[in-house]
Amino acid sequence: MTGHLAFALGLGFLGATAAADIRELLPEAVLKQVAEETSGEEAKRNLDTLTLQHRMRASSQFDEATAHILRKLESYGLDEVETLQYPADGETLFGTQKSRPVWNVRFAELWEIDDEAGQVTRKRRLANWEAMPLSLAQDSLSGEATATLVDIGAGTKDSDYAGKELRGRYVLTSSQPEDIVERAVGHAGAAGILSYAPNQRSAWWKQDDRLVRWGHLGSFPKTRSFAFMISLAEARRLQQRMAAGEEILLQGKVDASHERGFYRFATARINGADAALAQDEILFTCHLDHPRPGANDNASGCVAILEVARTIGKLIDEGTIQRPARSIRFLWPAEIEGSIIYLSQHDDPSRIKANIHMDMVGGGPETKAVFRISGGPMSLPSFISDLGYEVGHFVNAHTEAFAGGADVAFPLISAEGGKEPLLALMEGLDMGSDHDVFREGSWRIPGLYLHDWPDRYIHTNFDTAAMIDPTKLKRSAFIGAVNALVLANLSERDVPAILALLKRNALQRSGDLVEQLKSLDAADAAAVARIHFTVERRKVHSIEPFAALATPLHDEAAAFIAELEALLAPPQASHAETDDTVYVRNATIKGPMNAFGYSYLEDKYGAEKQAGLRLPAYTGLRGSGGEYAYEALNLVDGKRTVSEIRHWLTAELGPVPLDVVREYLEALRSIGVVSLQSSGSDASQ
C-alpha cells in the first residue's frame, strides 16, 4: 500500500484513528490514586468560605480570602507558602497594566422616599452595600443626592438625552455605568446612576429579570461619580410608573474612596525532585477577585487548584506517588492585572514551562454551563493542548459511560454531586481570562484553559455556592492534576507517546482542514494550508523545552507531516494585494494591549482614535475583534510580513482584509509597541 493511499484511508476513518488513552503517559495506578484522593466535597467547603467575601482587587475582603487560602496551604504542608505583595497605587506601570488603586467602601444605600412638605419618609430600599455588595457599581466614589429619576434608555446616543433635564437628577440606564458616566454625569450634570445592565450575552440573556449584574465605573475616572445596580424587573417597574406620569424620588448615599495600598497574592509550590529540573515550574493560576458571591466565577477555579495542591501534596507525603521532577506552583492573583504584574516582576519567566488556568469550572446543571478545555492560540503551537484534550477525552468517555449505566474505572463523582457526563468541548483560542497573559507574545508560555461557558448567572447575585456541583469540581481538579503530573515528569521516555498523540491529532486536524479550504479562494487556501502544516511541525518542536527530540523520532514525525501536506495542500496561488512590511515587537513593553481596568492602547493612542480602529471590532467566521487584535500582535516576530500575519489570522479566525490588519499594526507602531524592521517574504514561514 502506498503512503498516499494509507493516508487517504486514514482520513476516511478519523474517529477510530484518533482514539487514544492517557494511560500511555501516566500509569493507571497513579491515575486511580489521583481520582480517589481528589475531593469535590473538600473543594466545595473551601468555596463556601470564599463566597462570603466581596473579593475586589487589593481590598480587605480580598485579603481575607487570601488568608483562607494561605491557611489551607499551610495545613496541607505545601512548600514555600507565601504572600506576594505589589503596590496598588494607581500609578505604577507593570508592563501594560497600570496598577489600580484600592477601592474601599464603608457605606452605600439607595432608598425611594416621600417628601411631603419637607417631611422625608423612607418607602423602600433599592440597594444596600452590606446586604448585596453587587448593588453598588465597582469604583463608585463618595457622594449623596436626593433627587428624582429620569429614564435615558441606553444613554449612548443624542436621542436618549433629547428634551430631558438631567442636572441634579438620577438617571436610569440599560448600559454599564462606565459607558455613560461622562455623558450623563460629566456633561449633563446628573447626580448619580441607576443601571440595570443585563447579564452577559448568551441564550438566556435578559431572560431572568431577577438578576442584578456586576457594574463598573472607571478605576481612573475623569468624572467622579457613583452608580447603583438594580434588576431588570425593578427597572421595568420604575419605567412603568414614570410612563404613567409618577415622579419617583430617590435618596442615595455612598461613602467610598480610592486609596493607595497593596495587591497581596497567595502562592505555594510543590518542589521538584530533580536538581537539574526543579527550577522549572508548571504553574496553576485562577483569579481570586470577583464580587460576592462569585461562586463559579471564580471561587470554583480557586478551590479547584487548591484541591490539586492538596491532592498531589498528600499523595507525595504518603509515598503513594513520587515527587515530580519539575516543580508545580500555584498562584491566586487578581484577574489579568495580577498575572501581568506577576510575570512583569518575575526573575525569569522562561522557567514557567506551562500554565494551567482555571476560571469557572464548577457550574452545575442549573447554570446551563458547558465545560471547555482550550489549548491556546495558533500563534503558540504546543503539544500541551493535545495532552489536555487527551485527558479531557478520557474523562468524557468514562463519565459518559458511567452516566449511561456502565461500570467504569473512573466515574469521577462526588457523594454530594451529580452523575451527569462531563461532555467537555475541546477548543483552541478562547479569550477572557489570565491565560491570555501567559500565551501573549511577550511571554509565550503555553498551557491549558479550563472553563465553563455559558453560565447564565455569571457576574450576578445568583452566582451562588448552591449552583456549584462538587462532582464538576472533582473532575476539574483531576484533569488539572493529571496534566500537571505528566508535564512535571515528562522526559525522553515519553516522547514516542507524545509524538504518536500528535500524529493521530494531525490526521484529525488535517481532515478538518479539507473542509475549511472549501470556503476560501485559491490564494487564501494555499496560504492557510501552508500555515496549517507549519503549526503541526511546531507542535513537534514544542516538546523540546521538556525533553530531547532524538533525530530519528523527529525525522519520522517530519516525514509524516510532509506526506500529509503533499497529499492535501492545494497548489500555490498569488494574492492580488500584498504588504511585505515587517514589524518587530518592542521587548520593553510587555503584556496585552487591553489589560484589566486599564487599556494601554487607549491610554497611549487615545480613546477616540482607538474607537476608529477596525481590527479590534472585526468579526470573522470563527473569531471576534478582540481575538484578531490579540493574535495580530502575537504574530509580530520580526520575520512575518503584514501579508503573512493576515494569512495566519485567516487560518485561525477567518478571512480579514489586509488594510484592516495594516491599520492596526501601524497604530501599534505609532505608540512604540512595534517598530519597522525590514521587508520580508512569505518564505519566513
Please give the grid coordinates belonging to residue 18: 484518533
CA 126 – CA 228 distance, rounded (Å) = 9
Helix (H, G, I), strand (E, B) or coil at 496: helix
pLDDT reading at 1 higher than 90: no
What pLDDT digit, counting tens, does each position of 205-221 carry? Answer: 889 999 999 999 999 99
Q: Which is it for the CA torsion 421, 424, 425, 430, positive or negative?
A: positive
Nearest to 30 by CA among 316, 411, 401: 316
The pLDDT of residue 3: 46
The pLDDT of residue 120: 83
In degrees and rounded to multiples of 5, residue 55 shows phi and psi of: -90, 60
Q: Which CATH superfamily is domain 38-99+261-489 in?
A: Zn peptidases (3.40.630.10)
User: How confident is residue 168, by pLDDT bands cut at 50, 70 and 90?
Assistant: very high
Q: What ranges do the domains of the chain cover?
A: 3-16+492-568, 38-99+261-489, 103-259, 581-684
For residues 183 and 155, the answer to whether their CB atoms sit within 8 Å is yes
The pLDDT of residue 17: 38
For residues 601 and 670, the answer to whether their CB atoms sit within 8 Å is no
Nearest to 315 by CA among 70, 42, 30, 46: 30
User: How confident is residue 116, by pLDDT bands cut at 50, 70 and 90?
Assistant: confident
- Is the bond preceding residue 87 a cis peptide, omega within 30 degrees? no
Buried-exposed string 470-490: b where 16+ CB fall within 10 A, e elsewhere: bbbbbbbbbbbbbbbbbbbbb
In degrees and rounded to multiples of 5, residue 678 shows phi and psi of: -170, 175
Percentage of the chain lying above the pLDDT 70 cut: 96
User: How confident is residue 16, by pLDDT bands cut at 50, 70 and 90?
Assistant: very low
Helix (H, G, I), strand (E, B) or coil at 424: coil
Report the pLDDT averaged over residues 521-531: 96
- DSSP β-bridge partners for residue 111: 125, 251
Residue with grid cell 484522593, as numbered in its chain: 37
Q: What is the pTM of this model?
A: 0.95
pLDDT reading at 484 higher than 70: yes
Q: Give the residue, 205 or 545, on which the prediction is more confident.
A: 545
Q: DSSP character for 449?
A: E
CA 332 – CA 338 distance, rounded (Å) = 9
User: How confident is residue 678, by pLDDT bands cut at 50, 70 and 90?
Assistant: low
Please tell me the CATH code under which domain 103-259 is placed.
3.50.30.30
Buried-exposed string 458-467: b where 16+ CB fall within 10 A, e elsewhere: bbbbbbbbeb
Please give the grid coordinates belonging to residue 309: 495542591
What pLDDT digit, counting tens, does each position of 120-164 carry? Answer: 889 999 999 999 999 999 999 999 999 999 999 999 999 999 999
The pLDDT of residue 118: 77
Whether 38-99+261-489 and 103-259 share one fold: the answer is: no
